[in-house]
Structure 1
Amino acid sequence: MRFIIQKFGGTSLVTQELRELVANKIIAAVDEGFSPVVVVSAIGRAGEPYATDTLLNFALSINRDIPPREMDMLMSCGEIISGVAMANTLQRMGHQAVLLTGAQAGIITDDNFNDARIIRVEPQNVIKHVEQGKIVIVTGFQGICQGGDITTLGRGGSDTTASALGVALNAEYIDIYTDVEGIMTADPRIVEDARILDSVTYNEICQLAHEGAKVIHPRAVEIAMQKNIPLRVRSTFLDSPGTLVTSHHGVYGTIDITRDRLACGVTHIAGVTQLKIIAKDIAVEDPALRIFRALALADISIDFINVSPELIMLTVKDEVAKKAVDVLENLSVFPQVKPNCAKVSTVGAGMTGVPGVMASIIQALTEEGVEILQSSDSHTTIWVLVEKENMKKAIRALHRKFKLGQRE
């Protein structure tokens, strides 16, 4: 069997007209000789009747203190509704289809309710139905823990379901259908000449996703990468090929993604606060250890960390900045606080080992009068922290500097 995983987001399933469009893409895969396994998200977004947030808000209106186990049972309902609608659409169009919940599809997770991790996939039930000539629809975002309780997989959970099934079934492709045409070089609302990327590496898309791009969840990419299964990010509404995600050795048709490019995209995270701690102002012993341990115990996520004998710098989300400052002041550590910052990331596997990339970034930002508050780098990414008011200017300058608007 030639398996292909097709995942459809909630905006692709809102109306019967859209569901028929989705069904046609599924049927086209059958006509191409594939055995499609279709993963669906809940229908629509917050405020629409069957969206997960709508169901959750209904329960919260009764009691704000919902136990995590019961919350997962509730949040799993949205995908079941969309799955039934999608299976019925295919049946009406003359194709046998069966709906499986995450548990019925063999998605086994830990018991971390609301943000469970997949431990393994037991796909025998999926294979059985495919062998019977049925199109299998699987509810995304959910599984079952070893104790038998329903669990949900957290943000991006349907993408994760699709990748886990793709690996378990050794699929030829994992197609992530969404309401955009593919992965873009930057946010088109900020950069007018942002364009669709033909292809990116797994590492590049992981960095883009971690640093603000919201087209696919990085956990899904990391799972697909284990077996080097190509991901394709495509539009439900168009027939274009979208963006191929594969290894740095991959070739797709005539497109060689080892071609000579330094950067593939510029992305951003707004709404962060910088905390700067001067070493001479610290009166506690083992300051770095005590600072980071205290923030961890307070369940405060930190980012953009620079530690040196003279200085400790880190960022937190704006909404937890006051809590973080209170934690530090309880240690007699009094940070310099700079709110309303933004993290701007230049991502590209081609940067590794290439001299002058940081110089190009500094030049581009200096020419636009953008001050760099902090910086860091990895093999595939260079991050800079800027004031939020300079974020869009910085993104445009870097996009222009690395000629990301030009076709390769």
Structure 2
Amino acid sequence: MRILVQKFGGTSVASRESRLAAVRHVERALAEGYRVVVVVSAMGRKGDPYATDTLLSAVDETDAVGKRELDILMSCGETISAVVFASLLRSRGHEVSVLTGAQAGIVTNNQYGDARILEVRPERILEALERGCVVVVTGFQGVTLDGDVTTLGRGGSDTTATALGVALGAEYVDIFTDVDGIMTADPRIVEDARRLRRVTYTEICNLAYQGAKVIHPRAVEIAMQKNVPIRVRSTHSDDEGTLVTSATTSLESGALSDRFVTGITQAASFAQLVMDGPELPYGRIFVETARRGISLDFIYVSQDRVAYTVPERDAPAAIAIVRELGIEPRVVPDCARVAVVGAGIAGVPGIMAKIVSALEEEGVEILQSADSHTTIWCLVRRPDMERAVRALHRAFELSQ
């Protein structure tokens, strides 16, 4: 049995026109001989009647409700969306089975609001597929071993789709969005950003973690465990979009070619804290910061200097922690990180030199940098972020 999982995001199910476009993708897959599992998000975005954020706005004091109860509320959007989508499929003559996350066998821990999937029990889905049904599953939700409803965090419908794809041995997981695929940079910043035909799991994870919002990185990590290919596609196009696989080479225009840099991405709203001096108690700094639930990034430690970034919203608390330890930090507010991502950059000389040269030519100061095998990050001031992205996109000739 050839199985295809298709996930449709909030904008793909927000209007009847978009839902019809989504249904046509389902029908095309059925015509190609696939058994289809559809995963849907809540309809629309904040302000739309059944969007998750709209449902949350019905509660005056979310802290007074409790995380367990909020998950029950937040799961309603996907339930409504699944029934509406199924009704459209039935009106076109298809047999449909609607399953909640619990009914689909998605078992999670009890970390309400950001639950992790422990296992998937797909028997009920397989039974419905054997009967010839299109199975419509509510994204973003699961159930604990005790039977409590949970939600999987932002981007959780992507996670639902790839988890089902792995459990069912799907041929592909298609993630349908309002864009044509994964781009070499944010097209709102770089006008000549180019669509990528193929990227690796590692590359898209790094792009997603560093700010690209096309697919949730946790979903990619799940698909990577069993090498289930993902296609990021547009709901309003027949194009197959961007293929995400384990391959380390890119297939462009029928020719096999190596690629050092895949794309440039960015994220804003950080503050940098720098502390200078001999015998800095960096162990105590990190312990206290962790104890108060503040996430650190861009961590640099030497004999006489400690530097790191925190989300802008956490900056006052982070500053207070080091002051309590008798240290006055130097603070650079309103920072952004720009990342150069590519599976081919490891061990290649000259990548950092090109980054520094490109940013120097634009007059962009690098406040701090870090690297891994597939990513080089630069911390810059927020007003310089877009110029930095464009400069790096040009330097690595990503529009070609």
What TM-score, normalized to structure 1?
0.96
Matches within 5 A, 1:131-146: 131-146=130-145
Post-superposition Cα deviations, 1:352-407, rounded to whole Å, max 9, x if no partner, equal 1101100010111111111111001000000001111111111111000000011x
| Corresponding position of 1:168 | 167
1:268 to 257, 261, 266: 266
Name which of structure 1's ranges 214-223 and 244-253 shifts more when overlaid on structure 2.
244-253
| Corresponding position of 1:370 | 364
| Corresponding position of 1:278 | 276
C-alpha contact 1:281 1:333 (8 A) present in aligned 2: no
| Corresponding position of 1:98 | 97
Please give the alpha-carbon distance, in whole angstroms, between the structure 1 residues aligned to 2:251 and 2:353: 33
| Corresponding position of 2:19 | 19
Give the secondary structure class of the aligned counterpart of 1:26: helix
Shift of the 255–399 alpha-carbon distance from structure 1 to 2, 3 Å rule, reads: same
Shift of the 333–165 alpha-carbon distance from structure 1 to 2, 3 Å rule, reads: same
Alpha-carbon deviation of 1:98? 1.0
| Corresponding position of 1:121 | 120
Corresponding letter in the other structure for 2:108: T
| Corresponding position of 2:283 | 289
Alpha-carbon deviation of 1:15? 1.6
| Corresponding position of 1:357 | 351
Name which of structure 1's ranges 357-366 and 245-254 shifts more when overlaid on structure 2.
245-254
Alpha-carbon deviation of 1:320? 1.1
| Corresponding position of 1:79 | 78
| Corresponding position of 1:190 | 189
Post-superposition Cα deviations, 1:86-115, rounded to whole Å, max 9, x if no partner, equal 111000000001110000000000001000
C-alpha contact 1:201 1:248 (8 A) present in aligned 2: yes
Post-superposition Cα deviations, 1:248-275, rounded to whole Å, max 9, x if no partner, equal 3577797577x22111100001111000
Give the secondary structure class of the aligned counterpart of 1:65: helix
| Corresponding position of 1:45 | 45
Alpha-carbon deviation of 1:189? 1.0
Matches within 5 A, 1:198-217: 198-217=197-216
Alpha-carbon deviation of 1:63? 6.2
Cα RMSD after superposing both structures: 1.4
Please give the alpha-carbon distance, in whole angstroms, between the structure 1 residues aligned to 2:44 and 2:389: 30
Give the secondary structure class of the aligned counterpart of 1:137: strand
| Corresponding position of 1:344 | 338
Please give the alpha-carbon distance, in whole angstroms, between the structure 1 residues aligned to 2:143 and 2:171: 26
Matches within 5 A, 1:210-229: 210-229=209-228
Aligned length: 400
Alpha-carbon deviation of 1:280? 2.5
Please give the alpha-carbon distance, in whole angstroms, between the structure 2 residues aligned to 1:183 and 1:252: 15
Which residues of structure 2 form unaligned runs of 5+?
A: none
C-alpha contact 2:336 2:382 (8 A) present in aligned 1: yes
Corresponding letter in the other structure for 1:172: E
C-alpha contact 2:272 2:331 (8 A) present in aligned 1: yes
1:314 to 301, 308, 315: 308
Corresponding letter in the other structure for 1:233: V
Please give the alpha-carbon distance, in whole angstroms, between the structure 2 residues aligned to 1:178 and 1:333: 47
Please give the alpha-carbon distance, in whole angstroms, between the structure 2 residues aligned to 1:358 and 1:196: 24
C-alpha contact 1:250 1:256 (8 A) present in aligned 2: no
Please give the alpha-carbon distance, in whole angstroms, between the structure 2 residues aligned to 1:34 and 1:255: 26
What TM-score, normalized to structure 2?
0.97
Give the secondary structure class of the aligned counterpart of 1:184: coil
Please give the alpha-carbon distance, in whole angstroms, between the structure 2 residues aligned to 1:63 and 1:245: 38
| Corresponding position of 2:244 | 245
Give the secondary structure class of the aligned counterpart of 2:261: coil
Please give the alpha-carbon distance, in whole angstroms, between the structure 1 residues aligned to 2:255 and 2:248: 8
Please give the alpha-carbon distance, in whole angstroms, between the structure 1 residues aligned to 2:61 and 2:155: 27
Give the secondary structure class of the aligned counterpart of 2:64: coil
